[in-house]
Homo-oligomer: A and B are copies of this chain.
């Protein structure tokens, strides 16, 4: 732990509070989905794209649910043709979950909706502030990924 950790910890509070506005704009895209898809289902699809294939326990862990709930969620996503369950031959008790092509299309339409939600806000920002935001978000994403890969 670096010596700066205590000051970073108080800095983290400012970032967490400042992030709220952006998170609200980010989440708005769900409202435009046609046909309507539940927040839980969006969370699962987004996670599978973000992280790639996962088994059910890992998925449950990431979305903050228990395996039972995740299993039921996957029942409906599978029935809707948005995910595929596959049993790998080398470990027949671990189910591999993956996105269908239709799910990827749906996710892309979310991206489009989000772009539309972000545009008017970004237009009101100075070019410098826009640049800072993108730089900061990209660095955050890299740091988060490094952190995930550490204990592995």
Whether B111 and A17, one on each chain, are in contact in the complex, defined by CB atoms closer than 8 angstroms, is yes
In the assembly, what is the distance between CA of A23 and CA of B146, in Å? 17
Using CB atoms, name the residue of chain B closest to A47.
B24
Which residues of B lie under 8 Å from residue A114 when comparing CB positions?
12-13, 16
Please state if A115 and B30 are interface contacts (CB–CB under 8 Å). no
A34 contacts chain B at the CB level, 8 A cutoff = no
- Number of residues from A at the complex interface, CB < 8 A: 62
Type the 1/0 row for A4-25, where 1 means its CB is closer than 8 Å to any CB of B. Answer: 1100110111111111111111
B124 touching A143 by the CB < 8 A rule? yes
State how many angstroms separate the Cβ of A129 from the closest Cβ of chain B. Answer: 4
For residue A67, CB closer than 8 A to chain B, the reply is no
Known contacts A133-B15, A136-B129; A141 and B22 CB within 8 A of each other: yes
Residue contact B147 to A11, C-beta cutoff 8 Å: no
Interface status of A87 (Cβ within 8 A of chain B)? no
A132, B132: Cβ atoms under 8 Å? yes
B132 engages A136 (CB within 8 Å): yes
Taken together as a complex, chains A and B put the C-alpha atoms of A48 and B133 apart, in Å, by 26
Compute how far the CA of A15 lies from the CA of B138 in the bound complex, rounded to whole angstroms: 9
Contacting residues, chain B, for A80 (C-beta < 8 A): none
Q: Are B134 and A136 in contact (CB under 8 A)?
A: yes
Provide a sorted-by-A list of 5 A–B residue pairs whose CB atoms are within 8 angstroms: A5-B119, A12-B122, A16-B26, A16-B117, A131-B132
